Amino acid sequence: MNDLLIGLVGALIATNQPLAVSNLIQQNAGVSVTIVNPNDPAEKELTQLMTEDEAALVEVDKWIRDNNAFATQGAGEPREALNRRILARFEPVRKDYEDFLRRYPNFARGHLAYGSFLNDISEEEAAGAQYEKAAQLDPKNPAVWNQLANYYGEHGPLTNAFVDYAKAIELNPAEPVYYQNLATTVYLFRKDARAFYGISEEQVFDKALALYRKAMQLNPQNFLLAADYAESYYGIRPLRTNDALGAWTNALQIAHDDNEREGVYIHLARIKMVVGRFAEARAHLNDVTNAAFADLKHRLEKSLAERENPATNTNAVGVFTNALAVPTNASNPGP
């Protein structure tokens, strides 16, 4: 049995306004907003069910983290036994969703929530079927199209992902996540994006970057978003040095803690080292004190020394070429 990859379920937005308000907003602003009636018995039951769902995911996530910690000490539960316990914990949640949808088969938000649950427990094909059903029942809900696009981005066809993200944006152009998701998909699947949009690779990069910037305009204090945008410059040749440095400088300004700031220093040092701004690169590395970055810092210091004295190292050119090849997430130096 494959390991279960557990994540926290994304909560669906709910407010205390009746559906009429949603219709009024759409008529006057051209934006589709899903607004629910909290007095609807189905909504009340779904809210309770989603709370049960999240509680199960949080509990299982703790089991996994605790078991991993025990395993580093030579203890821990065997993987097969842990997976059985996880499945047993999720089974009543699954049954409750299925019972709910038997009684409310045309409740789109129920299908969407169940799809999110199935996706979180790695039953992605079944999740996709629930998203499709939700889209049939409520085609004006942007969250449905975003989830469908996420599914197609993972499993194909990619054309469906491009189309469905665009639908989500059309229905709610104020949601930054939709722009970010489309930007990431365009960036990662450049060949497909070129064919779908009929543009060059350079224009694909420009499109992805513009989508990231739109997301950042809507959510300017989101560090992870800013870091994703800045990292995207690593894939562009020739390197757009000034734009990349500007993007990392912006990320530095909105970093929340020393871990995030020092991750940005690593990136700034890497780029400045490659373009020959050695003193500035070394200054950034001197600001890195977090043990989590020690290995990466050491490798960059070694590369920096080789660049400063290229005659002493015959591999300097190769090191220079590979310096930008494998970016490291600024907020998480591990993966």
What three-state secondary structure class fits 164?
Answer: helix
Tell me the pLDDT tens digit for each residue of 282-296: 999 999 999 999 999
Q: How far apart are CA 126 and CA 133, in angstroms?
A: 11
Q: Which domains does the chain have, with CATH numbers?
A: 1-140 (no CATH), 149-219 (1.25.40), 241-335 (no CATH)
14 pLDDT band, cuts 50/70/90, is: very low
Higher pLDDT, 216 or 25: 216
pLDDT at 33: 45
The total number of residues shown for the chain amounts to: 335
> What is the spatial distance between Cα 59 and Cα 310, in angstroms, rounded to a whole number?
54
Contact indicator for 57, 9 with CB cutoff of 8 Å: yes
pLDDT of residue 73: 85
> Looking at residue 39, what is its pLDDT?
76
Question: In this structure, are residues 323 and 251 in contact, taking their beta carbons and an 8 Å threshold?
Answer: no
Asked if the model's pLDDT at residue 324 lies above 60, the reply is no
Phi, psi of 173 (to 5 degrees): -70, 0
Residue 42 to residues 37, 164, 219, 300: CA-CA distances in angstroms?
9, 27, 32, 57
Average pLDDT score over residue span 8-23? 29
Residue 47 pLDDT > 80: yes
Quick one: what percent of the chain has pLDDT higher than 70?
81
Mean pLDDT score, 158-164: 97
Burial label, 98 (beta-carbon count in 10 A; 0-12, 13-18, 19+):
exposed
Output the pLDDT for position 75: 83
Q: Using the predicted structure, report yes or no on whether residue 77 has a pLDDT greater than 60.
A: yes
Q: DSSP code of 189?
A: T
Mapped onto helix, strand or coil, the DSSP state of residue 333 is: coil
The pLDDT confidence band at residue 169, using thresholds 50, 70 and 90, is very high
pTM of the model: 0.80
Please report the pLDDT score of residue 21 as a whole number: 30
Q: What is the pLDDT of residue 13?
A: 26
Instruction: Give the model confidence (pLDDT) of 219-258 as tens digits.
Output: 999 999 999 999 999 999 999 999 999 999 999 999 999 9
Which whole number is the average pLDDT over 97-102?
97
User: How confident is the model at residue 317, as a pLDDT?
Assistant: 42
Mention every residue, 6+ apart, whose C-beta is less than 8 A from residue 212. 179, 180, 183, 225, 228, 229, 232
Q: What's residue 203's pLDDT?
A: 98
Residue type present at position 223: F
Whether the per-residue pLDDT at 16 is higher than 70: the answer is no
pLDDT in tens, 111-156: 999 999 999 999 999 999 999 999 999 999 999 999 999 999 999 9
Mean pLDDT confidence for 261-269: 97
* 215/229 Cα distance (integer angstroms): 10
**CA pair distance 108, 130, nearest whole angstrom:** 9
Residue 310 has pLDDT above 90, yes or no: no
Q: Which helix (H) or strand (E) holds 163?
A: helix 158-171
Average pLDDT over residues 5-10: 32
DSSP letter assigned to residue 235: G
What pLDDT does 213 receive?
98
**pLDDT at residue 83 tops 80:** yes
d(CA 223, CA 234): 18
Distance CA 225, CA 168 (A): 19
- Report how far residue 29's alpha carbon sits from residue 42's, in angstroms, rounded to the nearest whole number: 28
**How far apart are the C-alpha atoms of 181 and 265, rounded to whole Å?**
26
Cα→Cα distances 270→53, 54, 67, 192, Å: 43, 40, 36, 30
Instruction: Assess whether pLDDT exceeds 70 at residue 326.
Output: no
- Range in 23-27, 38-42, 300-304 with the lowest mean pLDDT: 23-27
In angstroms, the CA 51 to CA 49 distance is 5
How far is the C-alpha of 318 from the C-alpha of 315, rounded, in Å?
Answer: 5
Of 7-11, 271-275, 312-316, 325-329, highest mean pLDDT: 271-275
What pLDDT does 107 receive? 96
Query: What mean pLDDT, rounded, does the chain reach?
Result: 85
Asked if 307 and 273 count as a contact pair (C-beta separation under 8 A), the reply is yes
Averaged pLDDT for residues 46-74 = 93
